[in-house]
Structure 1
Amino acid sequence: MSSSAPVGSETQRSTAPQLESIINGAGTTNGHGIGEGPQIVSTSGAIEVLCGPLLNYRRMSGANTSSPTWHGSVLIVTTPGQSNPSLNLRSLGPRKGANGAEPGSASSENSRDFSGEKLYEDPNSAFWRFAIDLPLQASESQWEYNIPNLHSTNTGNKGDASTKRFYVPSASESMRIMFHSCNGFSVGTDVDAWSGCALWNEVLRKHEAQPFHVMIGGGDQIYNDGIRVDGPLKAWTAIHNPHKRREYQFGRKMRQDCDDYYFQNYVRWYSTEPFAGANAVIPQLNIWDDHDIIDGFGSYTDHFMKAPVFKGIGAVAHKYYLLFQHHMAPPASTWTSDVPDGVDEEQLKRTFVAIEKNPDPSYIYGQRHGPYVEQKSMSMYCQLGAHIAFAGIDARTERTRHQINYPDTYDRFFNHVSQQLEAANGNIKHFILLLGVPIAYPRLQWLENILQSPLIAPIKFLNKRFGVGGGLFNQFDGGVDLLDDLDDHYTAHQHKKERKELILRLQALAKKHSIRVTILGGDVHLAAHGRFYSNPKLNIAAENDFRYMPNIVSSAITNKPPPQAVANLLAKRNKIHHLDDETDETLLNLFDKDPGTDNAEHPAPEAAKTANTNHATMPSRNFAIIAESHAHPGAVQSQANGEVTEEADGPKTSKDADNPRDPIHPGEGRCGSEHPAAQGLKRTGLAGTFGLDVSYQVEINQHDRNGWTHGYGLSIPALEVISKTG
């Protein structure tokens, strides 16, 4: 891909006169950052790590040459006062089993040292980034990184804790992807009843059997909602007068308390096994959503979202989102009502903040700040190996109750993506788009109408005066608690126009560049598989249909799912909708049986997950596996990874299917437990040369801390031919 500067980055960092005066002030900068730091010097002789290492994937350079380069980063959070740490990266050769090979020891030219870059330091912690890169080779390869003298203050791990291994694809193939979302627990959830983050055990088992090259986080990688229950917002939340709550100031003391809360919560969660172990060995790509800030952020009423407290916690959450999830330096200071505009010099005392002079070119910045977060949106674009492009839209920074993204943000995004696809010279065959929330999903406007109707007013009055219906109303603006979730949906009535325009632009992108578009979405705490497709009257096979866009809905990997009745209701609302005269949409009947059914080793629990009539929504924790369906010439394959199964029977075109909720192309034939892609371990060959296999890994039993899953599979064809009809 191009190595040009990220779109919009020229104004991402503030250049206000106040900041310039700080940068130019005596002794305030060393040329790489602002402030001198806490002036603490560690004398332990070891690198005392509070959290990490965390491994991120960034992008590829030279993607369309014979020698592409993989770019990523490793982050560690240490106690302050550490001397510059270093990281050694070495190649272990082809992955074990690839063409019968064993990992080899590294030669001198395959071993490199990288210096740590300090991103941020205060009296409590320091963040160090190692920007690493490596050449992709003729076969899938294994790499090892080591941070000498690493000592974890959380677990006491030594020695091997500093050495981690990860995998990259061959130069001629695309990455094997794990997709997840909603990686945390809502306030009030019985964590023990849900066995903690048990599904990450299954992620690591799948990774050991067939390595993931990247894991994509679709938002809510962490749940910060507890800040209003047992954190510094507890007293503010308890204020009953809405006007007083809106006017409550976010001063320096409250800002510091919130800063401490977000930091400690990130350290706790990102150090929790087995999630922490996965973070160290599977490269991440993340966007954020509301729980990364606080439940419903952006979707409450405008006058309430403009309250100083919301503005303040949005800024603090953004700081740690950049550091932990993107390995990027934060702004010079975060917002307070003490200094409503510009940089708060008090925050720079005994603090160091790096200046990101060359932000990574994979980011696409918005043109202006969000309405409630005083920063620009950060969408991203990169290649996931040879044939797959990936983009994630930041749908939280600019979100309001009536808007998901600014129109000019969409313009910047689509212009950048189109330019990158054009530069790829036809090598990109599949475009994966990450949205925080599903876009091909049942409508719930009837429920919105009920919750917003005058019928709710008497109950709201009783709640305000006597606490009646306490669980129904949120503790912020007194609105119906479910409404902020419904307002988040693309299918909400106020987002209907924006949703349609986004889908039509994706169709135009697919048609122009002859690529298949597949959408990822999370948030809803259940598994489902939506699809847009050409109206059957147009008689276009899915393989040739640029309107055919699947929506892989995988959520949650950790949070509890909705009750069975909610999932069944959604399935009943699974109508065949008409986006316009040419495009229809509906969920696929994917789930042929409950997870664990007919499984002697890991049997299903006694209680059924869904009604017998529900084959479209699965209320059980889950994650998804996405991989190329076919091996490509020039790559050295492992025996298991290169095996191609026999094709499954299935209808050839949409017109052959009596019910579009059922399979409409061969890759969807026998979808579910019996599909060859169900276990996510072998290539099926069902989706053509550049198609994808998809596996939904669904938890069998919430009480089993091993996190065993049941697989449901299907395949997605590449876009082979642009039909002249339609």
Structure 2
Amino acid sequence: MLDRILGPLLILDDIANGRMHLAAIFVAPPGQSPGPVSTTDETVAPTELLHYDSAILYRARFSVPADAPSSYSWNGETYALASDLTGDLRLAYASCNGEEHGDMDRDEEERNVMWAHLADEHRRAPFALLLHGGDQVYADEATHGHPLSEDWPDKIPRDPLPHDIDDLRAHLRERFAERYIAQLKHPNYAWLVARVPALAQWDDHDICDGWGSLPRSRTYSPVGQCLFEVAKEATLAFQHGTIAGDLPARFDDPEGYHLGWQVSAPGLRLLGPDLRGERTRRQVMDDGGWRAVEAQAAVDFTGHTFVMSSVPLLGPRLSILEALMVLTPKMQKYEDDLRDQWQSRAHRDSWRRMLTLMMQMQEMDGQDVTILSGEIHLATRAEMAARNGQPLHQLVASGITHRPPPKAWARFLGALSRLGESPLQGHPIRIRRIPGQSLRYVADRNALVLERRGAEWHAVWHFETHGPSPALAI
């Protein structure tokens, strides 16, 4: 039961005309409402954004200069912002914020230890932005407790009545809200997200495990479509601070059919294609998503472009493992996990298409490209050779709260990566070790810090037990 107002949760709407346009989200119990948000230029009263039975979301939109430090105030407290995007800056990247089973019952301090670490890092040297790379919540158990979805996705009713679907929608809406609200209650997380604007990209667990890689009989069923609609509503509200029909200017599709977005500042561009909303067992993106990525790849940009790929774009030859799993009855239940990957046999053409676009950007004069990925609950990095002699980098930071898989799995993936992979002729992919690590894949909860000093960018992984890695030039 919510007994107080939570927030502010700060989200970046857009960067335009030299200003950061922000949304501050508040979650209030019914009958309470948050007071105004103030800057040196304006005072804004939050307005209602979305209603749940247990809580009401409010939003206040305002802007601050994007070329100088700034602040805003709410409820008698002032929140400093590292909003100067023109010079030296730091970005944080995190993914996989939860676990498939029992996430709501975990010890709060143990679960959020890496969020506490990132809060300490911000106190030491502030972050300008917080990038959420997918699986911001693990909603897999949200389907429990209702007769239509209790056995999802194994068993679903073939033709449920409309009023039963309405009842399911009400059930799912409260379960999704419960998961987002639980995270906002953690003090270190709440302290951080009130001071660092967020940019998010969703992945399957923000909907359900394997969404888009499950059979069409599940995802296109009335129960599946209800689940997707509720998850998308919650994602827009809690991750993007908006609702359908009111998407900020950074989104590529104002109608929100896909949730790809892009923002840019001097020497910095961030691209977040939607790799989940249009996904099916045979496609990663539909025409709208591809048009958006192709348009961004054609932009003549000078500086560093970071492309968020919720599922790693550069990886080992998983098609071998996928074939073995299909042939092994006991392993077939994991087939959708491998179909989620770019390297799946079902997505081979899409993989080559996306890699070609990344090479197009990487080989432009004056532009460097780095892929940011999560999803695998391990940390690693990869490189893909480019014709201009500068490799395309991929940095994987996965498991901000998800506990790591066994180290044997990390060793197995490392051994698999030695086979190499070259989906584009003349552009081999190599899995590299993170500085200071002996294995190619690191089984330790982690987050990534990206830092620009002058014109140079460096990446540092922060591990729960290993501590920070030596800096990697990218």
What's the counterpart of residue 208 of structure 1? Answer: 123
Could you tell me which residue of structure 2 aligns to residue 714 of structure 1?
A: 472
**CA distance change for structure 1 residues 225 and 233 in 2, over 3 Å: closer, same or farther?**
farther
Q: CA deviation at 1:80?
A: 3.6
Q: Is the 8 A contact 1:181 1:522 kept in 2?
A: yes
> What amino acid is aligned across from residue 487 of structure 1 in structure 2?
R
Give the one of 486, 489, 492 matched to 2:344. 492
Corresponding residue number in structure 1 for 2:83:
168
Which residue number in structure 2 is paired with residue 152 of structure 1?
Answer: none
Contact 2:203 2:310 in 1 (8 A): yes
Aligned residue among 280, 287, 296 for 1:407: 287
**1:130 match: secondary structure:** strand
Cα distance in 1 between the residues matched to 2:148 and 2:198: 33
* CA distance in 2: counterparts of 1:482 and 1:79, whole angstroms: 40
Aligned residue among 173, 186, 199 for 2:114: 199
Residues 1:626 and 2:470 aligned together = no
How far is 1:712 from its partner? 3.7
Q: Cα gap change, 1:302/1:625 in structure 2, threshold over 3 Å: closer, same or farther? A: same
Residue in structure 1 matched with residue 260 of structure 2 by the alignment: 379
Partner of 2:457: 692
Task: State the match for 1:85 in structure 2.
Answer: 35
The CA deviation string for residues 205-232 of structure 1, in whole angstroms up to 9 with x for no partner, is 1111111000100111111112244x43
Once residues 294 and 500 of structure 1 are traced to their aligned partners in structure 2, the CA distance between those partners, rounded to angstroms, is: 27
CA deviation after TM superposition for structure 1 residue 587, in Å:
0.9
Alignment partner, residue 572 of structure 1: 415
Higher Cα radius of gyration: 1
Would you say 1:318 and 2:232 are equivalent positions?
A: yes
1:436 aligns with 2:310: yes
TM-score (norm 2): 0.91
1:684 is matched with which residue? none
1:57 aligns with 2:9: no
> 8 Å contact 2:258–2:274 — kept in the other structure?
yes
Q: Residue by residue, what CA displacement relative to the aligned partner does 1:91-139 show, whole Å, maximum 9, x if unpaired?
A: xxxxxxxxxxxxxxxxxxx3531232322346543222111111234xx
In the alignment, is the contact (CA less than 8 A) between 1:194 and 1:560 conserved in 2?
no
**Equivalent pair of 1:506/1:517 in contact (CA under 8 Å):** yes
Question: Is the partner of 1:328 in helix, strand or coil?
Answer: coil
For 1:123 and 1:185, locate their aligned partners in 2 and report how far apart those are by CA, in whole Å: 25
**Counterpart residue identity of residue 433, structure 1:** V
The 5 Å alignment of 1:258-657 reads: 258-330=172-244, 356=246, 359-365=247-253, 376-383=257-264, 385-416=265-296, 418=298, 421-422=299-300, 428-453=302-327, 455-456=328-329, 480-512=332-364, 514-534=366-386, 541-542=389-390, 548-575=391-418, 576-593=420-437, 615-628=439-452, 630-631=453-454
CA change 1:238–1:216 in 2 (3 A) is: closer
Separation in structure 2 between the aligned mates of residue 178 and residue 360 of structure 1, nearest angstrom: 22
Q: Does 1:130 align with 2:18?
A: no
**Which of residues 53, 71, 74 is equivalent to 1:147?**
74
Mind listing any 5+ residue stretches in structure 1 that lack a counterpart? Answer: 1-46, 63-67, 90-109, 149-158, 331-354, 368-374, 460-471, 473-479, 543-547, 594-613, 632-689, 702-708, 717-726
Quick check: 2:48–2:58 contact (8 Å CA) kept in 1?
Answer: yes
Task: After TM superposition, give the deviation of residue 175 of structure 1 in Å.
Answer: 3.8
Question: Letter of the aligned partner of 1:492 in structure 2?
Answer: S
CA distance in 1, matches of 2:411, 2:33: 57
Within 2, Cα distance between the matches of 1:519 and 1:209?
Answer: 26
1:400-436 Cα deviation digits (max 9, x unpaired) = 1221101342123322563xx44xxx5x311110111
| Residue aligning to 1:69 | 19
Looking at structure 1, the residues matched to 277 and 308 of structure 2 have their Cα atoms a distance apart, in angstroms, of 15
Q: Which amino acid aligns with 2:344?
A: A
State the distance in 1 between where 2:6 and 2:347 align.
Answer: 39
AA of the residue aligned to 1:205: D
**CA–CA distance in 2 between the matches of 1:198 and 1:60?**
31
Question: CA separation of 1:234/1:530 partners in 2, compared to 1, >3 Å: closer, same or farther?
Answer: farther
Alignment TM-score, normalising by the size of structure 1: 0.61
Unmatched runs of 5 consecutive residues or more in structure 2? none
CA contact (8 A) 1:225 1:291 kept: yes
**What is the CA distance between 1:59 and its match in structure 2?**
2.3
Does residue 60 of structure 2 align to residue 217 of structure 1? Answer: no
SS at match of 1:523: coil
Post-superposition shift, 1:49?
4.4
Q: Secondary structure at the match of 1:573?
A: helix
Asked whether the 8 Å contact 1:528–1:616 carries over to 2, the reply is: yes
Letter of the 2:445 counterpart = R
Q: What amino acid does structure 2 have at the position aligned with 1:557? A: I
Q: Partners of 2:147 and 2:436 in 1: how far apart?
A: 45
For 1:352, the equivalent position in structure 2 comes to none
Q: Deviations over 1:8-46 (max 9, x none)?
A: xxxxxxxxxxxxxxxxxxxxxxxxxxxxxxxxxxxxxxx
Q: Which amino acid aligns with 1:622?
A: N
Shift of 1:194: 8.8
User: Aligned partners of 2:110 and 2:56: how far apart in 1?
Assistant: 32
| AA at the equivalent of 1:573 | L
Identify if the C-alpha distance between structure 1 residues 239 and 712 changes in structure 2 by more than 3 Å, giving closer, same or farther: closer
1:362: Cα distance to partner? 0.7
- Asked whether the equivalents of residues 175 and 214 of structure 1 are also in contact (C-alpha less than 8 Å), the reply is no
Partner deviation per Cα, 1:668-726 (whole Å, 9 max, x = no partner)? xxxxxxxxxxxxxxxxxxxxxx331000111107xxxxxxx33242101xxxxxxxxxx
Correspondence list, 1:645-684, <5 A: none
Alignment counterpart, residue 113 of structure 1, candidates 35, 43, 62:
43
Shift of 1:316: 0.6
SS of 1:446's equivalent? helix
Asked whether the 8 Å contact 1:525–1:560 carries over to 2, the reply is yes
| Cα offset, 1:577, TM superposition | 2.0
Distance 2:234 2:21 in 1: 22
- 3-state SS of 1:131 partner: strand
In structure 2, relative to structure 1, the CA distance for the partners of 1:550 and 1:52 (3 Å cut) is same
Identical residues among aligned pairs (%) = 22
Deviation at 1:512, TM superposition (A): 4.1
Report the 3-state secondary structure (helix = DSSP H, G, I; strand = E; otherwise coil) of the residue aligned with 1:551: strand
- Alpha-carbon contact 2:274-2:289 (below 8 Å) kept: no
CA offsets, 1:266-318, max 9 Å, x none?
21122223222211111100011111111111111122222211111110111
Query: How far apart in 2 are the matches of 1:406 and 1:286?
Result: 20
* CA shift digits 1:506-550 (9 cap, x unpaired): 21233346411111110000000011114xxx7x532xxxxx211
Secondary structure class of the residue paired with 1:236: coil
CA contact under 8 A between 1:299 and 1:487: conserved in structure 2? yes
Partner letter of residue 52 of structure 1? Answer: G
Contact 2:65 2:83 in 1 (8 A): no
Answer yes or no: is 1:178 the counterpart of 2:92: yes
Separation in 2 of the partners of 1:570 and 1:197?
Answer: 27
Residues 513, 392 of structure 1: CA spacing in aligned structure 2 closer, same or farther, 3 A cutoff? farther
Question: Are residues 366 and 579 of structure 1, via their aligned partners in 2, closer, same or farther at CA, if it must alter by over 3 Å?
Answer: farther
The code of the aligned residue for 1:146 comes to S
Counterpart CA distance in 2 for 1:579 and 1:447 is 16
Distance 1:48 1:569, change over 3 A: closer
Cα pair distance change 1:122/1:528, threshold 3 Å? closer
Give the residue type in structure 2 aligned to 1:57: L
Tell me by how many angstroms 1:79 deviates.
Answer: 2.8
1:174–1:386: 8 Å Cα contact kept in structure 2?
A: no
Contact 2:101 2:140 (8 Å CA) reproduced: yes
